[in-house]
Amino acid sequence: MSDFEFTSMIDLAAEKLGGKALLCSDDFFAEKENLLKPGRGIFIADKYTDRGKWMDGWESRRKREPGHDWCIIQLATPGKIYGVDIDTNYFLGNHPPFASVEAFNIKDADTDDYEQLKWNEILPKAALQPGSQNLFAIADHEVYTHLRLNIYPDGGVARFKVYGEVVKNWSAVGEEDEVDLAAAENGGKAVLCNDMFFSHMDNLIMPDRGINMGDGWETKRNRTLGNKDWVIVRLAHEGVISKVLIDTAHFKGNYPDSCELEGCNISDSTDQDLSSQQLAWIPILPKVKLKPDEEQLFETGMVATHAPVTHVRLSIFPDGGVSRMRLFGKPFLKNG
């Protein structure tokens, strides 16, 4: 993996995915929960609280005794970490000069006292730049569930992003169990689309329903006759899809007129261009009309029976926005 290519991977700590800031040594000026919010944080010049300047991040008070500040993060799912971003956006005279990151897999713990765990250092103490995305590749690819962000000695961090891959225990899924094979929390990933002008394709497979029109996948207006926009999702696990849910929540005057879903099976070792016209896409859901601001479930009688697939392509006609896509089915477990 080339330098910082990991930023295209899923943020395992994202609040939207289910990450949580559990505990910190101090968040006097700005709450620890801000660390896991989307974006890079904002700045409002004249906004103050009764404790001082309002900041969109995690900020501890000035330390007057030995030691350093820290924050414990519970990842949304167990995962392998390939890189982190310790973003000090808008923290200029109050950023920490240094930071380090430690990790732990809670299934190995015999205590719920996070401060007493034997943490593994995955990022040694490193210098931070003010007002910057501080990107660090992580060489330790063990599976972890919790991280401890240490800052030296104190200060503010706008966002903490943890890029990696979800590790799900598929052996715990029963032969007859149906799961959302596209869900990001299971390991699904939106990998390619032709347009995401208004909002990112990653939103399509996030948990819960979208909170507003910006929390979905939306393409720009296209006046080309017969146009279709598309997005390709790599499933969390090879499987057979039996139910398709398309949610146009909040999209009222800009929902797609119709959509269709296709699938293909590409082995992990195949390095193909997913937009290639030579890929053998098979129909899963035929072209169907959509409704505004509504969850629409398509199942038996609409969803075609097919062999297991690893990728799907959702096409929308002619353009517009979809909040969420759920693809329920059975994972194809080759060893039972």
Instruction: Report pLDDT digits (tens) over 319-333.
Output: 999 999 999 999 987
Q: Residue 297 is encoded by which pair of tokens? A: 């479930």
Instruction: Report pLDDT digits (tens) over 170-198.
Output: 999 987 899 999 999 999 999 999 999 99
- Report how far apart, in Å, the C-alpha atoms of 333 and of each of 126, 170, 263, 265, 311 are: 42, 8, 18, 14, 16
CATH superfamily, region 174-331: Galactose-binding domain-like (2.60.120.260)
The amino acid at residue 123 is L
Q: Residue 213 is encoded by which pair of tokens? A: 């029109």
Q: Tell me the percentage of the chain whose pLDDT exceeds 70.
A: 96
Which DSSP state fits 3?
Answer: T
Length of the chain: 336
Instruction: Report pLDDT digits (tens) over 212-254.
Output: 999 999 999 999 999 999 999 999 999 999 999 999 999 999 9
Q: How far is CA 246 from the centre of its chain?
A: 19
- Residue 184 φ/ψ, nearest 5 degrees: -60, -35
Could you give the count of Cα atoms lying within 13 Å of 223 in the half-sphere of its Cβ? Answer: 0
pTM of the model: 0.93
Q: Residue 75 is encoded by which pair of tokens? A: 């990842």
Instruction: Report pLDDT digits (tens) over 259-306.
Output: 999 999 987 655 567 877 778 899 999 999 999 999 999 998 899 977
Q: Residue 150 is encoded by which pair of tokens? A: 């240490």
CB 219 within 8 A of CB 320: yes
For the chain, counts of helices (H) and of strands (E): 0, 22
User: Domain ranges in the chain?
Assistant: 5-166, 174-331
**Among 83, 106, 77, 94, CA closest to 14:** 77
What is the CATH T-level fold of the domain 5-166, as seen in this structure?
Jelly Rolls (2.60.120)
Between CA 283 and CA 305 the distance in angstroms is 9
CB 33 within 8 A of CB 222: no
Same fold, 5-166 and 174-331: yes
